[in-house]
Amino acid sequence: MRYHLVTLGCQMNKSDSERTRTVVERMGFVWTDREDEANMLGVLACSVRQKSIDKVYSRISKWNRWKKDRNLITFVSGCMLPADREKFLKLFDLVFTMNELPELDSMVRQYGIVTPASLYTPAGFSHPTGGTDTPVPLKPERAEIRQFWKVRPQYTSSFEAFIPIQNGCDKFCTFCAVPYTRGREVSRSSGEILKELRELVGKGYKSITLLGQNVNSYGLDRRGDEIP
């Protein structure tokens, strides 16, 4: 079974897509460049720009027409305003935040879809973050994003890479939607960041960008505490 992923928006969504590919391929799906060949189609949306949201509606309209001719599961994630999320719930099979990505396999199975991995993997299948087949209870937002960061990305470039160090924003500027699409500020473990950085340098990467919605606030949510 094959999958195709459409990534819209900024570099953070591109970085998120590399972790999404890891999770989907651990489920047994194989990448295809052609949407019309895929059994699973996903899109990482960006509510920050209306043009990107318009592209999401265009894509799902086409994908839902294809469902008349073949079995197909669709999902949307990424940066979504609550209003867009409510509309997507009526159009996509699965709608989830990036924080919930590690549980995608459980979501798909609960939806009633048999994944390729489930055909030959016994109970106790290992998720990218070490879970099992049993659906994991919802966790607080900060715990969820830290689980997401533990998913090993599947880098799409051999010389350029993105490392997320922080997620969300606490500023709530009147002109910006980021706090409503990404949530409050959460800093990633400095140890995880350095480990990922050293691995990339060891593999010969020449361009490495540290990402976050508000990187200048890195560590402030843990002020006074060491970031392990």
pTM: 0.81
Fold type of domain 157-222 = Transcription Regulator spoIIAA (3.30.750)
Helix (H, G, I), strand (E, B) or coil at 11: helix
Residue pair 213/171 in contact (Cβ under 8 Å)? The answer is no
- The DSSP line for 92-153 is -SEE--GGGGGGHHHHHHHHTPPPHHHHH--TT---TTS--SSPPPP--HHHHHHHHHTSPP
Q: Which residues, listed in sequence order, are joined to residue 210 by a DSSP beta bridge?
A: 163
Q: Domain spanning 2-138 has what CATH number?
A: 3.40.50.12160
- Percentage with pLDDT > 70 across the chain: 84
Kindly report the backbone phi and psi dihedral angles of residue 178, in degrees, each rounded to the nearest multiple of 5, phi listed first. -55, -45
Domain residue spans in the chain?
A: 2-138, 157-222
d(CA 197, CA 131): 25
The four Cα atoms 212, 213, 217, 223 give a dihedral, to 10 degrees, of: -80
Tokens 């209870």, located at residue = 137
d(CA 165, CA 203): 20
d(CA 128, CA 150): 8
Q: How confident is the model over 30-44, as a mean pLDDT?
A: 96
**pLDDT tens digits for 110-141?**
876 655 555 443 333 333 444 333 333 333 45
**pLDDT tens digits for 202-217?**
999 999 999 999 999 9
Q: Which amino acid, residue 175?
A: F
**pLDDT tens digits for 8-17?**
998 999 999 9
Residue pair 167/145 in contact (Cβ under 8 Å)? The answer is yes
